[in-house]
Copies of this chain bind each other. A is one copy, B any other.
Amino acid sequence: MQHKEAILSSYKRITPYIHNTPVLTSEGLNAIAGANLYFKCENFQKMGAFKMRGALNAVLQLSDVQKSRGVVTHSSGNFAQAVSLAAKQIGISAHIVMPENAPQVKKDAVLAYGGKITLCASTIEAREVATENIIKEIGATFIHPSNDLDVIYGNATACYELIEEHDYLDFIVAPVGGGGLLAGTALSASLFGRNCKAFGGEPIEVNDAYRSLKSGKIESNNTTNTIADGLRTQLGDINFPIIREFVEEIVCVEEVEILEAMKLIYQRLKIVVEPSSAVALAAVLKNKKHFSNKSIGIIISGGNVDLKSLPF
């Protein structure tokens, strides 16, 4: 009940700042999948990804004192941009710790949204030291990209909107990286759906979440060898218990299956998505029997992709 109220109040809190993103369907894709697919298009969200929801939900709950000191996060991806834009929208400062070797295009995106970048060496230790220094020196509030309940509740609102519009869904599938999207999705599927089950899709190359569910303890990845760059992150201790309780199953997919699903999304849905977004569709296509003739929501996580690096 606590989760349910938290998601509803998060939704109310962030609604003035976000898009209620469209849900797209394709007869062609339905025929290929043998099921009815409903794509919740968070690539059309502000700054191009669902991360905007969690970031906003976190910054909007800061006290006035906290707001005056700003926020800090470490990310070289969508969450860096999301925190920068969310902070800008409410007029506070955002400090982003990024590795020196992050692509210039990602640094530029953060700067364009008004974020202040602190560069560090490309190690977890350096990242944590740089973040700690900002917290100590400026008193900025740290927001974790995925392992944070407010972020999870914010992320949950995408699935909540999807179910509000299509309340008959049998399954909802989301990609899993750090676990913040899947945890939020699973909460909303369980709390607002009518017997709606949540599935995760995960690249087999970085399947820490899949292995964590099997072993019952948080596992780590030894490689980051996947095109789904948003999913190379580590499952966290706040997400894991939620995923364990509310997610039916995590389906692991091969790189070639991610590429094939990504191509189908571009060709059939005519939308631009990140490789990570294709992982959920790949999981559905890998398990056609299980999903046969069902109504399935798929969370398209984002669309911030370097057009020069499209794998077609």
Question: Could you tell me which A residues sit within 8 Å of B by CB distance?
Answer: 22, 24, 43-44, 48, 263, 266-267, 270-273, 303, 307-308, 310, 312
B303–A312 CB distance below 8 A: no
Shortest Cβ distance from residue A261 to the other chain B in the assembled complex, whole angstroms: 13
Determine the residue in chain B with the shortest Cβ distance to A26: B44
A222 to chain B, nearest CB (A): 32
The residue of chain B having its C-beta at the shortest distance from the C-beta of A274 within the complex is B270
Q: Check A266 against B307 for contact (C-beta < 8 Å).
A: yes
Report the minimum CB–CB distance from A215 to chain B (whole Å). 37
A270 touches B307 (CB 8 A): no
Q: Which residues of B contact A24 (CB under 8 A)?
A: 44
**B44 & A307 in contact (Cβ 8 Å cutoff):** no
Q: Give the residue among A272, A273, A303, A310 with the most B Cβ atoms within 10 A.
A: A272
> Chain B nearest CB: distance from A20 CB in Å?
12
Q: In the complex, what's the smallest C-beta–C-beta distance from A247 to chain B, in angstroms?
A: 27
Q: Are B271 and A307 within 8 A (Cβ)?
A: no
B residues near A307, Cβ cutoff 8 Å: 263, 266-267, 310, 312
| Whole-angstrom CA separation of A307 from B273 in the bound complex | 13
Select which of B22, B48, B270, B308 is within 8 A of A272 by beta carbon. B270
Beyond contacts A266-B307, A270-B271, A270-B272: 8 other A-B pairs, Cβ-Cβ < 8 A, are A24-B44, A48-B270, A267-B272, A267-B307, A270-B273, A271-B271, A271-B272, A308-B312
A260 CB to nearest B CB, Å: 12
Contact A44 B270 (CB under 8 A): yes
Question: Which residues on the B side are within 8 Å of A273 (C-beta)?
Answer: 270
19 A-B residue pairs with Cβ-Cβ distance under 8 Å, sorted by A, are A22-B22, A24-B44, A43-B270, A44-B270, A48-B270, A263-B307, A266-B307, A267-B272, A267-B307, A270-B271, A270-B272, A270-B303, A271-B271, A271-B272, A272-B272, A307-B310, A307-B312, A308-B312, A310-B312
CA distance A176 to B48 in the complex (A): 31
Q: For A48, what are the chain B residues with a Cβ–Cβ distance below 8 Å?
A: 270
Q: Which of A266, A271, A273 has the most CB of B within 10 A?
A: A271
Q: Which residues of chain B come closer than 8 Å to A44, judged between CB atoms?
A: 24, 270
The answer to whether B272 touches A266 (Cβ under 8 A) is yes
Q: Which residue of chain B has its CB nearest to the CB of A27?
A: B46
Provide the residues of chain B in CB contact with A43, threshold 8 Å. 270
Q: Within 8 Å CB of A266, what residues of B? A: 272, 307
Closest residue of B by beta carbon distance from A41: B270
Nearest CB on B from A264, distance (A)? 11
A178: shortest Cβ distance to chain B, in Å?
Answer: 22
